[in-house]
């Protein structure tokens, strides 16, 4: 059966179509998280852009004869004062039901997807750093749901208007941001230390982009796959220093740099490094599995059950 997934994220909207023979993707970067962080709610232009993109995605899904279409929204819609109203508006205009995921549900789906890739450990913690939030979920690998579940609105798009100016973060702002993240994640650090044998895996578009850049700079070659790449605090610290010294055009010239994420890469590296520090992790692994894979797995399960 052909299925389509529409993700309405804080940084981008993405369409995934699976036909059984191949998978197709479309993506639009709307940066709604930044707008909500600045304005407190979605603006008229945000609503128009979001509605237009979802309508485009719905048309594509119908052209591919998708029998099942699921549309979900995440942190930007949870934070916006008019988030539920805008989701309902998009649903009416585009002709599809829109579900705003709860932080707990988002973390469960992410943890399950990552756990499927790392089934050889006893206790797994999935750390999702997205445009809207930082989610940490963990527990015994054999569980249906993670034993621990935390979520904070500390994503790159949400923090960018307050922490980054034209892609740069001054020292005093960085120190305040690191303190803010550390204070929020104290409960997570306490829980994580209670498990002697555990594995931390980081997921999300920004961690993957950072891991790709670090690997390329380290080895002078672009990695063939991102899943399983390593990333550590010292390398992130070096990147933060490098970004502070380079203009945006010079950053774009770095081999392995993501052009669409270049403005927020310094902020993303700062957030990720402090998250790792707060969890007392020096080095970890990144995974391409995450919320999308968890949602697609659930969508296919719903199709089979029907």
| pLDDT of the residue at 197 | 63
CATH 3.30.420.150 residue spans of the chain: 104-290
The domain covering 3-101 belongs, at the CATH homologous superfamily level, to: ATPase, nucleotide binding domain (3.30.420.40)
CATH 3.30.420.40 residue spans of the chain: 3-101
| pLDDT block averages, 10 residues each, the chain of length 306 | 95 94 93 97 98 97 94 98 98 96 97 90 94 96 92 97 92 96 94 79 96 91 91 95 93 89 94 96 94 93 75
| pLDDT of the residue at 120 | 83
- Other CB atoms within 10 A of residue 175 CB: 11
The domain covering 104-290 belongs, at the CATH homologous superfamily level, to: Exopolyphosphatase. Domain 2 (3.30.420.150)
| pLDDT of the residue at 306 | 64
| pLDDT of the residue at 20 | 81
| pLDDT of the residue at 242 | 94
Tokens 């798009």 label which residue?
157
Please give, one letter per residue, the 3-state secondary structure of the chain. Answer: CCEEEEEECCCEEEEEEECCCCEEEEEEECCHHHHHHHHCCCCHHHHHHHHHHHHHHHHHHHHCCCCEEEEEECHHHHHCCCHHHHHHHHHHHHCCCEEECCHHHHHHHHHHHHHHHCCCCCEEEEEEECCCCEEEEEEECCCCCCCEEEEECCCHHHHHHHHCECCECCHHHHHHHHHHHHHHCHHHHHHHHCCCCCEEEEECHHHHHHHHHHHHHHHCCCCCCCCCCEEEHHHHHHHHHHHHHCCHHHHHCCCCCCHHHHHHHHHHHHHHHHHHHHCCCCEEEEECCCHHHHHHHHHHHHHHHC
State the greatest distance between any 2 C-alpha atoms of the chain, in Å, as a whole number: 56
Token digits of residue 215: 């690997």
């Amino acid at each position: 059966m052909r299925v389509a997934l529409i993700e309405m994220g804080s940084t981008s909207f993405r369409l995934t179509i699976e036909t059984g023979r191949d998978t197709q993707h479309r993506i639009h970067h709307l940066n709604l998280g930044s707008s909500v962080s600045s304005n407190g709610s979605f603006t008229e232009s945000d609503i128009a852009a979001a509605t237009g993109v979802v309508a485009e995605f719905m048309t594509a899904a119908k052209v591919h004869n998708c029998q099942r279409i699921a549309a979900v929204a995440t942190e930007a819609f949870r934070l916006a004062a008019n988030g539920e109203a805008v989701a309902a508006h998009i649903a009416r205009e585009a002709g599809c039901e829109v579900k705003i995921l709860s932080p707990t549900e988002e973390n469960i789906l992410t943890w399950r997807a990552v756990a499927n890739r790392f089934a050889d450990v006893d206790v797994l913690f999935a750390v999702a750093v997205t445009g809207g939030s930082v989610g940490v979920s963990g527990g015994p690998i054999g569980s249906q749901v993670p034993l621990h579940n935390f979520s904070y609105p500390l994503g790159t798009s949400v923090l960018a208007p307050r922490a980054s100016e034209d892609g740069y973060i001054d020292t005093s702002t960085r120190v305040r941001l690191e303190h803010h993240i550390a204070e929020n994640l104290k409960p997570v650090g306490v829980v994580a230390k209670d498990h002697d044998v555990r594995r931390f895996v980081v997921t999300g578009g920004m961690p993957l982009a950072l891991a790709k850049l670090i690997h390329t700079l380290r080895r002078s070659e672009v990695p063939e796959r991102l899943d399983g790449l390593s990333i550590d605090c010292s390398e992130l610290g070096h990147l933060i220093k490098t970004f502070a010294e380079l203009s945006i055009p010079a950053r774009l010239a770095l081999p392995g740099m993501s052009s669409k994420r270049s403005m927020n890469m310094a902020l993303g590296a700062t957030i990720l490094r402090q998250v790792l520090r707060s969890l007392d992790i020096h080095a970890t692994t990144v995974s391409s599995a995450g919320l999308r894979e968890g949602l697609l797995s659930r969508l296919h399960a719903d199709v089979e059950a029907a």
